[in-house]
C-alpha cells in the first residue's frame, strides 16, 4: 500500500489510499517510504462532507452572478521574475482600481486562512517543506525541492479558487501577484537546474492536466520585465537572507520560461500587457490608461452566463472537490510515505488541534457532551 501527497483542502492536504482502504495492516509494500511527513490533514473524520452554499431559491434556480459585474469585475494577475517589483506595483494598482489585492501565495497560505495572518501549524504537518530550505539546499536528496514545488502549485490552485469565489460572490475585481497558471515556470527552471528528476516534472504535468482546466483564466496578465542583473541588484537591496544565493542561471531559466512558453500560451485566453521594468517603475496612471483601452474580446469569460458560472461556483466553493482535483494515485519516491506514518500523524494533528470530528462537534474539555444533542 502506498501513501502519498495528493489532496489540498482547508489547511493543506489530505492523504489517499493508493492500494486499499484503511482497516488493517498499515505497512508499505516492499518497505517503500520516503523521509517526508504528510501534509496538513483536513478533518479526516469527515473528508467527504460538503457544506452547501445553496438556499431554497438557488437550489432550484442556481446562483446568479451577471448582475453583480461591472467593468472592474476582472481578475488581473501581475507576473514577473523574482525581485522585479510585483508586490508594490500590484498593491498600488489594486488601490487605484478599487479592487481587492491578493499577495502571492506561500507555503502557509492555508494555515493563515484558519489561524490568522503570520500564524502557521508545525512544519511537519506540511511535509517539512519551506522556501528557506529550498534556497539553502535546492539539491536536497530527500526530494524536498519537488515536494516544495508541488505544494506551491497546490497553494496557488487553492488561492486562485478563492479569488474566483470572491469575484463571483461580490463582483469586486482582484489584483493578484502570480497565479497557478504561471507556476510551471518555476518547475521548468528547477528541472533545468537539475534540482529533481524528470519523473517529478512528468507527474507535475499530469497533476496540472487534470486540475487547471477546472478553473477560469485571468482576464488580464501584466508582465513586468527586468533583466537578471537588475533582479539581483533589487534582491540584494530588499535584504531577504533566504534569497542572497539565488543563481543567475535559475533567474534566467524563469525568464525564458515566462517569455517562451507562459506569455504565448496565456495570450490565447487572456489579455497581456508587458512593461519594461528595468528602470524606474512606470506611472500607475499610464498602466490604468492601457487597461482602460483594452476591449477584453475573445476571452473565455465572454462565453459565460449564470448557468456556466453556477457550475464553476459549485466547484470552487466545494473545497473537497478543489482538493481532489489534484489527485493522482501513483508511486513517486519524493512524495510517498508509509501508511502507519500517515495514520499516526493524522491522529496527532486531530488531538493537538481538537479536530477529531466535523466543525462544531469538537467539544472543549470543559464542555458537556449534552451540548451535542442540540446540534
3-12, 120-129, 279-288: lowest mean pLDDT where? 3-12
Residue with cell 506514518: 341
C-alpha grid cell, residue 176: 493578484
Average pLDDT over every residue of 301-308: 95
CA distance 220 to 295: 11
CA distance 326 to 208: 8
C-alpha grid cell, residue 236: 540584494
Residues 6+ apart with CB under 8 A from 325: 157, 210, 211, 214, 315
- Give the pLDDT confidence score for residue 241 in this predicted structure: 82
Q: What are phi and psi of 108, to 5 degrees?
A: -105, 25
Does residue 21 register a pLDDT over 70? no
Q: Are 271 and 294 in contact (CB under 8 A)?
A: yes
- Give the pLDDT confidence score for residue 280 in this predicted structure: 67
Tell which residue, 104, 299, 278, 93, has the closest CA to residue 186: 104
CA distance 160 to 335: 23
Strands, E assignment, the chain:
3-7, 14-17, 75-80, 100-102, 174-177, 220-225, 271-276, 336-337
- Calculate ∠ Cα 178-209-257, nearest 5°: 45
Average pLDDT over every residue of 141-149: 94
- Give the pLDDT confidence score for residue 375 in this predicted structure: 66
pLDDT bin (cut points 50, 70, 90) of residue 8 is very low
Tell which residue, 128, 143, 138, 180, has the closest CA to residue 159: 180
Topology of domain 52-319, CATH? Rossmann fold (3.40.50)
Does residue 154 register a pLDDT over 70? yes
Q: What is the pLDDT of residues 252-289, one digit of tens each?
A: 999 999 999 999 999 999 999 999 998 867 789 999 99
CA distance 140 to 136: 9
| Burial of 195 (C-beta count, 10 Å sphere; 0-12/13-18/19+) | buried
C-alpha grid cell, residue 143: 526530494
Q: Are 139 and 245 in contact (CB under 8 A)?
A: no
19-33, 60-74, 104-118: lowest mean pLDDT where? 19-33
3-state secondary structure of 269: coil
Which residue would you say has higher pLDDT here, 62 or 290?
290
3-state secondary structure of 312: helix
C-alpha grid cell, residue 242: 533566504
- Report in angstroms the alpha-carbon separations of 71 from 164, 181, 285, 294, 360: 16, 23, 17, 11, 40
Average pLDDT over every residue of 308-326: 94
pLDDT bin (cut points 50, 70, 90) of residue 338 is confident
Average pLDDT over every residue of 208-229: 97
CA distance 194 to 253: 12
Does residue 46 register a pLDDT over 70? no
Rounded to the nearest integer, the mean pLDDT of the chain is 83
Does residue 35 register a pLDDT over 90? no
Q: Are 97 and 122 in contact (CB under 8 A)?
A: no
Does residue 39 register a pLDDT over 80? no
> Among residues of the chain, what percentage have pLDDT more than 90?
61
- Give the pLDDT confidence score for residue 138 in this predicted structure: 95
Which residue would you say has higher pLDDT here, 50 or 165?
165
Amino acid at each position: 500500500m502506498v501513501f502519498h501527497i495528493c489532496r489540498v483542502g482547508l489547511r493543506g492536504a489530505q492523504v489517499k489510499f493508493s492500494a486499499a482502504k484503511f482497516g488493517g495492516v498499515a505497512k508499505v509494500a516492499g518497505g517503500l517510504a520516503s523521509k517526508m511527513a504528510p501534509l496538513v490533514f483536513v478533518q479526516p473524520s469527515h473528508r467527504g462532507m460538503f457544506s452547501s452554499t445553496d438556499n431554497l431559491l438557488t437550489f432550484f434556480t442556481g446562483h446568479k452572478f451577471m448582475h453583480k459585474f461591472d467593468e472592474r469585475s476582472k481578475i488581473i494577475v501581475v507576473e514577473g521574475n523574482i525581485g522585479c517589483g510585483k508586490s508594490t506595483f500590484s498593491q498600488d494598482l489594486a488601490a487605484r482600481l478599487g479592487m481587492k489585492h491578493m499577495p502571492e501565495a506561500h507555503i502557509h497560505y492555508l494555515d493563515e486562512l484558519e489561524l490568522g495572518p503570520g500564524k502557521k501549524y508545525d512544519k511537519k504537518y506540511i511535509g517539512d517543506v519551506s522556501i528557506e530550505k529550498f534556497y539553502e539546499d535546492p539539491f536536497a536528496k530527500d526530494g524536498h525541492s519537488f515536494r516544495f514545488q508541488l505544494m506551491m502549485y497546490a497553494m496557488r490552485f487553492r488561492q486562485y479558487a478563492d479569488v474566483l469565489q470572491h469575484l463571483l460572490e461580490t463582483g469586486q475585481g482582484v489584483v493578484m501577484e502570480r497565479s497557478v497558471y504561471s507556476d510551471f515556470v518555476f518547475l521548468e527552471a528547477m528541472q533545468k537546474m537539475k534540482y529533481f528528476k524528470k519523473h517529478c516534472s512528468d507527474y507535475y504535468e499530469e497533476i496540472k492536466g487534470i486540475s487547471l482546466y477546472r478553473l477560469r483564466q485571468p482576464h488580464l496578465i501584466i508582465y513586468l520585465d527586468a533583466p537578471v542583473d537588475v533582479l539581483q541588484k533589487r534582491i540584494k537591496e530588499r535584504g531577504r537572507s533566504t534569497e542572497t544565493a539565488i543563481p543567475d542561471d535559475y533567474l534566467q531559466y524563469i525568464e525564458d520560461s515566462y517569455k517562451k512558453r507562459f506569455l504565448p500560451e496565456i495570450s490565447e485566453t487572456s489579455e497581456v500587457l508587458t512593461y519594461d521594468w528595468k528602470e524606474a517603475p512606470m506611472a500607475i496612471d499610464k498602466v490604468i490608461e492601457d487597461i482602460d483601452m483594452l476591449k477584453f474580446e475573445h476571452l473565455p469569460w465572454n462565453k459565460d452566463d449564470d448557468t456556466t458560472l453556477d457550475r464553476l461556483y459549485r466547484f470552487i466553493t466545494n473545497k473537497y472537490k478543489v482538493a481532489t482535483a489534484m489527485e493522482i494515485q501513483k508511486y513517486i519516491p519524493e512524495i510517498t510515505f508509509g501508511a502507519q506514518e500517515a495514520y499516526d500523524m493524522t491522529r496527532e494533528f486531530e488531538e493537538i488541534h481538537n479536530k477529531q470530528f466535523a466543525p462544531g462537534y469538537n467539544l472543549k474539555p470543559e464542555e458537556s457532551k449534552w451540548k451535542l444533542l442540540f446540534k
